[in-house]
Amino acid sequence: MIALLDERFLEEEAVALFPREWGTYTVVNRFNVEQAVREFWEGRGRAEN
């Protein structure tokens, strides 16, 4: 998990610089970040079992 904590990372110029492996990403905010982190780690646990 990598967290880019600034809205400027949503700008097209910044996104264009992301590695191609980052093709899928989730935009979160202070209201849903806790849930997104929890879901990420829960998903990792299922994938490894």
Residue 9 has pLDDT above 60, yes or no: yes
User: Is 25 part of a structural domain of the chain?
Assistant: yes
Total-model pTM: 0.62
User: Is 13 part of a structural domain of the chain?
Assistant: yes
The two tokens of residue 35 are 């849930």
User: Is 35 part of a structural domain of the chain?
Assistant: yes
Q: What is the pLDDT of residues 15-45, one digit of tens each?
A: 999 999 998 888 999 999 999 999 999 987 5
CA 19, chain centre distance (Å): 13
The two tokens of residue 24 are 């899928």
User: Is 36 part of a structural domain of the chain?
Assistant: yes
User: Is 27 part of a structural domain of the chain?
Assistant: yes
What 3-state DSSP class applies to 28? coil
**Residue carrying structure tokens 């849903």:** 32
Domain count, the chain: 1
User: Is 1 part of a structural domain of the chain?
Assistant: no
Domain range for 27: 7-48
User: Is 11 part of a structural domain of the chain?
Assistant: yes
Does residue 39 contact residue 49 with C-beta atoms inside 8 Å? no
User: Is 34 part of a structural domain of the chain?
Assistant: yes
Residues contacting 40, CB < 8 A, separation 6+: 1
